[in-house]
């Protein structure tokens, strides 16, 4: 297919690369053009504006940072909705506001476009390996048309429902992670305070009912002080804020979500937003 990929960062770079590996014709747009250099070296063309990048594409995929970025690339002057050809699939794989995407999808259909919200889980390691979990909202026929593309980037690919259903599923995912990653940090803190060999402790409890992806992957990083981002704190704060807003609109009280968000916001305020989510261990010992 003729594809435009917008947003070449930690996640977008390997995802677009997998599509190129599969033989698709991929054009690129990213605000920092140097990030696209590895793909340009392989034959992709990087554009200075969205319009010429998307104007002849059958599928347009976005993987940007924040809801304001999603709104800008789709609804802004010179953006996707102004320039995408009729019948094109437009697929946002950013984690963003479900309400925002539903608004974009409604406008897109009026222009004859085929919108899908398809946020992912699995971090940079899943993006590199092509094993992401992809949660998709939109029309069934559009999901089926995009499925061959998703299969090059992910392993678990589920059509969750209508517009916004992918984003709502991702919110549930982030809420679960918020509890899991903070629980691992508390277990490590407890083990340290009681004088345990932390590697042995994690190796033991990860094989039982307490085991989780967060424990197996981020637990060892917490012990070693490796805070390199597989997923940035600043992006997790964005996701958890969206989840909290959506839960409040539905009258839900989610105390673990609120507590985790508060802790991560405090870290971001201290200039730690570019660290990985496992750096939450640093909050223990503080008055958290």
Task: List the one residue out of 247, 89, 271 whose CA is nearest residue 175.
Answer: 247
**Residue pair 229/217 in contact by the 8 Å Cβ criterion:** no
Task: List the one residue out of 191, 192, 143 whose CA is nearest residue 163.
Answer: 143
Give residues with Cβ within 8 angstroms of 4, minimum separation 6.
Answer: 26, 27, 28, 29, 53, 54, 57, 59, 60, 61
Give the CA angle between residues 52, 56, 58 to the nearest 5°: 130
Distance separating alpha carbons of residues 200 and 206, to the nearest angstrom: 10
Sign of the CA dihedral with 51 first, then 143, 101, and 173 last: negative
Distance separating alpha carbons of residues 277 and 214, to the nearest angstrom: 10
**Residue pair 228/58 in contact by the 8 Å Cβ criterion:** no
- Catalytic residue chosen out of the listed positions 33, 45, 170, 270: 170
Give catalytic status of residue 110 as yes or no. no
State the catalytic residues: 170
């Amino acid at each position: 297919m003729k594809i435009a990929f917008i947003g070449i960062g930690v996640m977008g770079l390997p995802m677009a690369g997998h599509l190129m590996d599969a033989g698709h014709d991929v054009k690129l747009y990213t605000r920092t053009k140097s990030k696209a250099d590895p793909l340009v070296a392989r034959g992709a063309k990087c554009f200075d504006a969205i319009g010429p990048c998307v104007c002849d594409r059958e599928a347009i995929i976005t993987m940007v940072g924040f809801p304001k970025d999603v709104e800008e690339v789709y609804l802004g002057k010179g953006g996707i909705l102004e320039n995408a050809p009729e019948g094109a699939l437009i697929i946002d794989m950013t984690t963003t506001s479900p309400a925002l995407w539903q608004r974009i999808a409604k406008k897109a259909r009026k222009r004859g476009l085929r919108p899908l919200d398809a946020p992912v889980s699995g971090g940079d390691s899943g993006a590199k390996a092509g094993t992401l979990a992809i949660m998709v909202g939109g029309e069934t026929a559009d999901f089926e048309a995009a499925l061959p593309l998703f299969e090059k980037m992910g392993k678990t690919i589920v059509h969750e429902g209508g517009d916004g259903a992918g984003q709502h599923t991702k919110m549930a995912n982030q809420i679960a992670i918020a509890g899991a990653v903070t629980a691992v940090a508390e277990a490590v803190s407890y083990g340290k305070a009681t004088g345990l060999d932390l590697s042995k402790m994690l190796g033991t409890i990860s094989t039982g009912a307490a085991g989780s992806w967060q424990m197996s992957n981020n637990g060892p990083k917490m012990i070693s002080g490796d805070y390199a981002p597989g997923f940035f704190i600043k992006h997790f704060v964005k996701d958890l804020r969206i989840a909290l807003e959506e839960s409040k609109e539905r009258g839900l009280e989610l105390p673990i979500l609120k507590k985790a968000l508060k802790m991560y916001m405090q870290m971001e305020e201290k200039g730690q937003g570019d660290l990985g989510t496992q750096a939450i261990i640093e909050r223990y010992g503080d008055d958290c």
